[in-house]
């Protein structure tokens, strides 16, 4: 966690990200992977800025590499900005048993 992130709380993120959990149960340090996953998949740019301040690009990249349901566009984006090879992303190396009909 970065030093300039002391005043960021879970309530600063977009409300739609954590619709399925009680916000008071989320700890920014202990639940970092959960928060990063929600922001990477469903977040707005303002949410991206918050996780960048909180965790840094290296942590975000390491968490994103583990997300199977990450769309390829986001994987390519993180791959470029984090200088991480695309073949390290789980969403790139594993394919769905029943792929979607439309591949956008």
Tell me, what's the pLDDT at 91? 77
Asked if residues 35 and 10 have their Cβ atoms less than 8 Å apart, the reply is yes
Asked if residues 65 and 94 have their Cβ atoms less than 8 Å apart, the reply is no
Q: Which structural domain range is residue 60 located in?
A: 30-96
Interval 68-83 mean pLDDT: 85
- pTM here is 0.78
Residue 65 reports pLDDT greater than 70: yes
Sign of CA dihedral 31, 32, 33, 37: positive
Residue 91 lies in a domain: yes
Interval 25-49 mean pLDDT: 93
> Into how many domains does the chain fold?
1
Percent of the chain at pLDDT > 70 equals 82
Residue 10 lies in a domain: no
């Amino acid at each position: 966690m970065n030093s300039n992130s002391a005043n960021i709380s879970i309530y600063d993120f977009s409300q739609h990200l954590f619709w399925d959990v009680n916000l008071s149960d989320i700890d920014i340090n202990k639940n970092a992977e959960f928060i990063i996953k929600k922001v990477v998949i469903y977040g707005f740019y303002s949410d991206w800025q918050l996780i960048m301040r909180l965790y840094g690009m290296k942590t975000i990249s390491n968490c994103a590499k583990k997300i199977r349901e990450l769309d390829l566009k986001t994987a390519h984006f993180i791959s470029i900005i984090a200088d991480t090879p695309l073949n390290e992303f789980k969403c790139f190396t594993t394919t769905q048993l029943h792929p979607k009909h439309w591949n956008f």
